[in-house]
Amino acid sequence: MGLEFLARVRNTSLWLGGVAALMTFTYAGPRAGLAAAAGVAWSLVNLALLQMLVIALTGRARESLGVVVRTWGSAAGMLAWFGAGAFLLSRLSPVWLLIGFLLPFAVIVFKAVSLLIVGSRAWAALTRHPRRNGAIIAALAIAAYAALSLWPLPAATPARATVTSGAAVSSAQTHAGPESETGEPAVEPYAASSHEVEHGEEEGPQKFANFITVIVRAFPQAGWAHWLHDWEVILFSLLFAGVISLIARAAAAKREMIPGRFQAAVEYLVQSGYDFFVGILGEKHGPRFVPFLGTLFIYILCMNYAGLIPFLDSPTSNLNVTVALAVTVFVYAQYIGFRELGAVGWLDHLAGNPRTLISWLMVPLMLPIHVLGEFAKPISLAARLFGNVFGEDMLLVAFATLGITTLSATGLPFGLPLHLPFMFLALLTGGIQAMIFTVLSTIYILLMLPHEHEHEAEHEAVAQHAH
């Protein structure tokens, strides 16, 4: 069991920790779910720092400057991380933090035990016959269903009253008093908090809860939590931009003559994008716009797919983000047209490139139409991307809710994953929408570039007429 085993433990702990935090958030409350997720993260980062320290101390070049820096850096990081753990213990539930912290260690134990069992002679003899394997799997499935049928279902929570005005909230708080019957301060539920009532927010279609939503519901009275809620879309957009930048920097920093898997994947993606955009824009102008268009495609694709990852959200399901992207493309395309064609050529393009007497007479009519067409381009880009991504999210929420309603029929402690097939559909449509947005942006840029082929055709026609 070496570094590969630890890598598998980390991957398993990440997925299992996400599922456990989501179930804890659903059945035990937002603060418990947040504490469980923080415990898993705390444990995984601590294991990673410990691994760096052990490698630095047991490596061959232990006296080199880089190894010494990594040794002291990992040791200092572990001390700082213990301080962060003490802060979490003072803010969140210690029990759920401990459960999340022990989850990766439980994964290590189960993986080690499974390796011992799979490599034993008894396991080889047990799994030698296909019929015997099928009988064992069927017996395990029946036993699991019987155990889950005895699982106590969570009690139904009463419906929450809708607060319609700020006066109603202040009146309820006045009659309830500052403390509850147990002597603890009374906390208003997040959905009916005075912050939302004062700002006039109404309950509409709700998407899957992301980690910012979990934080806000865990600390409903904190001002910084409501600040996170107000800037949620911007924070997610910056998060994905930062992740893409870090991946690009890592790919450019460690280039080798014989590329590894990571470098080969990045080079294949860049080369494919280069061939595609240059094929549309041409060899003369295409290479200049590949960085902008390629980054635009990858950025939109990552934001479209983010809603499929637990505790993340798709920024492109918000109209503000899609409008910002569309306006960026619109301004960039107009700038290219003004720079490449000049002021006179840009106005000539907006007028419809009049070259005959009839076309000049049609300029007063065609100029407003072309201007309106230019302004309609960002509107169509923004509305198309927003509508498709938001519709996908609502479809997933609808079928996930339908799967939860099967609890009463099946008696299981979890619903049926009816939304799972539509997640594969969202993978397809998310990529298609990113491609459509980028291809249309490429065409808008192409329309603003000088059309040399038209001038060449005119010169050829004049030459043929002269002969």
Tell me the whole-structure pTM to 2 decimals: 0.63
Who's near 5: CB < 8 A, 6+ residues apart?
111
d(CA 314, CA 451): 38
At residue 304, the pLDDT reads: 94
At residue 4, the pLDDT reads: 72
Residue 195 pLDDT > 70: no
At residue 307, the pLDDT reads: 87
Residue 114 pLDDT > 70: yes
Residue 450 lies in a domain: yes
List the one residue out of 327, 302, 429 whose CA is nearest residue 378: 327
pLDDT classification of 185: cutoffs 50, 70, 90: very low
Residue written as tokens 């923004």? Answer: 382
What CA–CA distances, in Å, run from 430 to 233, 322, 387?
18, 14, 12
At residue 134, the pLDDT reads: 73
Percent of the chain with pLDDT over 70: 75
pLDDT tens per residue, range 403-434:
878 776 766 666 778 888 888 988 999 999 99
CB-based burial label for 179 (10 Å; 0-12, 13-18, 19+): exposed
Phi then psi dihedrals of residue 427, to 5 deg: -60, -40
Largest pairwise CA distance in the chain = 103
Residue 415 lies in a domain: yes
Residues 281 and 407 in one domain: yes
pLDDT tens per residue, range 336-370:
888 888 888 777 777 777 777 777 777 777 778 88
At residue 287, the pLDDT reads: 92
For the chain, give the number of residues: 467
Identify residue 378 by its one-letter amino acid code: P
* 193 and 162 Cβ atoms separated by less than 8 Å: no
d(CA 363, CA 463): 29
DSSP per-residue codes, 86-142: HHHHHHS-HHHHHHHHHHHHHHHHHHHHHHHHHTSHHHHHHTSSHHHHHHHHHHHHH
The two three-digit tokens of residue 94, written as one number: 């210690």
Residue 193 lies in a domain: no
Residue 214 lies in a domain: no
d(CA 78, CA 67): 16
* 111 and 5 Cβ atoms separated by less than 8 Å: yes
Domain final residue pick, 118, 134, 152: 118
* 313 and 232 Cβ atoms separated by less than 8 Å: yes
* 104, HSE (Cβ side, Cα atoms, 13 Å): 23
User: Quick check: helix, strand or coil at residue 2?
Assistant: coil
pLDDT tens per residue, range 16-48:
877 777 777 777 777 787 888 888 887 888 777
Range of the domain at 329: 236-466
At residue 238, the pLDDT reads: 93
d(CA 199, CA 8): 47
Total of domains in the chain: 2
More confident residue, 453 or 338: 338
pLDDT classification of 321: cutoffs 50, 70, 90: very high
Residues 114 and 243 in one domain: no
d(CA 384, CA 186): 45
pLDDT tens per residue, range 373-395:
888 889 999 999 999 999 988 88
110-132 per-residue burial string, b: 16 or more CB within 10 A, e: under 16:
ebeeeeeeeeeeeeeeeeeeeee
Residue 206 lies in a domain: no
Domain final residue pick, 87, 118, 149: 118
At residue 142, the pLDDT reads: 78
d(CA 171, CA 156): 27
pLDDT tens per residue, range 302-314:
999 998 888 889 9
d(CA 20, CA 27): 11
Residues 308 and 454 in one domain: yes
Residue 291 lies in a domain: yes
Number of Cβ within a 10 Å radius of residue 64 = 12
* 34 and 218 Cβ atoms separated by less than 8 Å: yes
Who's near 84: CB < 8 A, 6+ residues apart?
42
Who's near 150: CB < 8 A, 6+ residues apart?
none
Residues 445 and 297 in one domain: yes
Residue 116 pLDDT > 90: no
d(CA 312, CA 208): 9
What CA–CA distances, in Å, run from 63 to 33, 51, 66, 71, 400?
44, 18, 9, 10, 56
At residue 387, the pLDDT reads: 92
Residue 54 pLDDT > 90: no
The two three-digit tokens of residue 384, written as one number: 């198309």
What CA–CA distances, in Å, run from 423 to 73, 307, 317, 396?
41, 10, 15, 7
The two three-digit tokens of residue 171, written as one number: 């009146």
- Rounded to the nearest angstrom, the gap between the alpha carbon of residue 30 and the centroid of all alpha carbons in its chain is 20
List the one residue out of 381, 391, 382 whose CA is nearest residue 442: 381
Phi then psi dihedrals of residue 360, to 5 deg: -65, -35
Number of Cβ within a 10 Å radius of residue 345 = 15
The two three-digit tokens of residue 412, written as one number: 């299981």
Residue 174 lies in a domain: no
Who's near 348: CB < 8 A, 6+ residues apart?
341, 354
pLDDT tens per residue, range 220-230:
888 888 888 88
Domain final residue pick, 69, 95, 118: 118
Number of Cβ within a 10 Å radius of residue 39 = 29
pLDDT classification of 145: cutoffs 50, 70, 90: low
d(CA 48, CA 11): 12
Residues 241 and 106 in one domain: no
Residue 187 lies in a domain: no
